[in-house]
Structure 1
Amino acid sequence: MNALTWLTGRPPVLTDAQRQRCEALPAPAPLNDGPLKQQRLVVLDLETSGLDMRRDEVLSIGAVVIDQGAIDLGQQFECTLQRQDHKVSASVLIHGIAPSAVAAGKAPAQALLDFMEFLGDSPVLAFHAGFDQHMLRRALKQTLGLRLRHSFFDVAELAPMLCPQANLNQGGLDAWTQYFGLQVHQRHHASADALVTAELALILFSRARKQQMDSLHILEQRLTGWRRRQRSLSF
């Protein structure tokens, strides 16, 4: 069953094998009330050619898996996407992906299919998840004609909601890792950022359980209320 397919206008040109892989992708699992320790979650980080969500492209995908309440180091994903027309920009100084690495990367259709198969039906965690969600959604639509329907949880929202005493409502990943004393050996590298985000998420899930939020469904409900309160405080 291909619950993700979304063909609009002229569909991308795919091989028969690629179409079959698209059709075999599972539909995302609905959020449930099962304990957080029983969930498989994919922690995602993207490196992109810039921050313009309408024009810039995904250059690198990094992901790790949280399963049964721990980071499963046997389940990791890392891939650089081939972009023949990629030009050197200021973003190279941040993520360090050289144009030669991008030119030698994996074909976008192959890379995205590999990632979607790795993702399976699992929900996604990311820091500033809205950006990653938008960029992945656009890449999937343009490259494969797929619609991204997986649930995304933003660790940048979970952290201040669960730890208001930190006074880091607008804190970035560096601020939160420093707050919890996590060791960060590399930044602005997709796999490394995904790993530290996963470590942060496990700490937050422990805080969530202590606050009687021991399921993704409950977390989603609490986040909806938290966002509403944040908007009201901004007026």
Structure 2
Amino acid sequence: MLRAIRRAADRRRQADGDFAWLFNPYTGDELVSIDCETTGLDTRRAELVSIAAVRIHDGRVLTSESLDLRLETPASLDGDSIKIHRLRGVDLEGGMPVRDALETLLEFIGNRPLVGWCIDFDLAMLDRYLKAEFGFSLPNATIDVAQQYRKRMRRSHPELELQPTFEQLAERLGVPIMGRHTALGDAVTTALMHLRLDADALAESSR
């Protein structure tokens, strides 16, 4: 509800802005899987290190149509942060200015629905930066793969309380983990898990 209210307010403010088109209803049939790598898990203080997105269309993950952005190395980043958050050297080199990276991301995802693993974290991080740079939050519809799995299991096994990790769910679904703890690898793996859950749900409904 709060996100819907915020989206309506942002739509009014951006009516004559460069990104007004983002607030139009999406009428296509694509999704975009996203993932962020950060310097921590506190969305109020952590900083973005990299952002990735990959399109999903017609039951396929379009890895040839993906985005993998590295941001300028945060000034607060030190050796301990690099070790704790499993950041790679390549993630810390040749980064883009934040504003340029966000503009590139917005152009890529457009107003398509977004897919993510525990996506509220990624949205909170991106929204913090977007509000600072452009004055609005992402208006896109979202699909959380972790919630998607829990809903599916509640229908077939309502007695169970399931909170699988990313790795556990990938294994249960028979999905290969593509470069864990890299933004693009996690975005691709999340997209594959979403498609597998969708396919399983379709198979169950046809029985």
Q: With structure 1 as the length reference, what TM-score do the two structures score?
A: 0.72
Structure-2 residue corresponding to 1:26: 21
1:68-125 deviation digits (Å, cap 9, x = unpaired): 2211122100001113513225442333233x85363001000000001000110101
Query: Per the alignment, do residues 77 and 152 of structure 1 end up closer, same or farther by CA in structure 2, a change over 3 Å counting?
Result: same
Task: Check if 1:108 corresponds to 2:98.
Answer: yes
Contact kept in structure 1, 2:114 and 2:142, CA below 8 Å: yes
Q: Distance in 2 between matches of 1:140 and 1:6?
A: 14
Q: Distance in 2 between matches of 1:56 and 1:106?
A: 18
What SS is found at the alignment partner of 2:46?
A: coil
What RMSD, in angstroms, separates the aligned Cα atoms of the two structures?
A: 2.8
Q: Distance in 1 between matches of 2:12 and 2:126?
A: 14
Name which of structure 1's ranges 154-163 and 81-90 shifts more when overlaid on structure 2. 81-90
Task: Check if 1:145 corresponds to 2:149.
Answer: no
Q: Distance in 2 between matches of 1:31 and 1:207?
A: 25
Query: Per the alignment, do residues 69 and 80 of structure 1 end up closer, same or farther by CA in structure 2, a change over 3 Å counting?
Result: same
Aligned length: 192
Counting aligned pairs with the same residue, the percent is 27
What SS is found at the alignment partner of 1:170?
A: coil
Structure-2 residue corresponding to 1:81: 71
What SS is found at the alignment partner of 1:27?
A: helix
1:37-94 deviation digits (Å, cap 9, x = unpaired): x721010010001011111111100111101221112210000111351322544233
Q: Distance in 1 between matches of 2:194 and 2:24?
A: 20
Structure-1 residue corresponding to 2:87: 96
Contact kept in structure 2, 1:28 and 1:120, CA below 8 Å: no
Q: Distance in 1 between matches of 2:36 and 2:13?
A: 22
Contact kept in structure 2, 1:49 and 1:89, CA below 8 Å: no
Structure-2 residue corresponding to 1:192: 185
Q: Distance in 1 between matches of 2:205 and 2:149?
A: 16
Q: With structure 2 as the length reference, what TM-score do the two structures score?
A: 0.80
Contact kept in structure 2, 1:86 and 1:102, CA below 8 Å: no
Q: Distance in 2 between matches of 1:205 and 1:152?
A: 15
1:105-151 deviation digits (Å, cap 9, x = unpaired): 00100000000100011010100011011111111111232332111
Q: Which runs of 5+ in 1 are unaligned?
A: 8-19, 33-37, 214-235
Q: Distance in 2 between matches of 1:68 and 1:137?
A: 29
Q: Distance in 2 between matches of 1:118 and 1:191?
A: 14
Aligned partner (choices 66, 71, 74) of residue 61 of structure 2: 71
What SS is found at the alignment partner of 2:63?
A: strand
What SS is found at the alignment partner of 2:136?
A: coil
Deviation at 1:205? 1.0
Deviation at 1:192? 0.3
Query: Per the alignment, do residues 159 and 71 of structure 1 end up closer, same or farther by CA in structure 2, a change over 3 Å counting?
Result: same
Query: Per the alignment, do residues 162 and 139 of structure 1 end up closer, same or farther by CA in structure 2, a change over 3 Å counting?
Result: same
Structure-2 residue corresponding to 1:162: 152
For residue 173 of structure 1, what is the amino acid of its counterpart? F
Q: Which runs of 5+ in 2 are unaligned?
A: 1-9
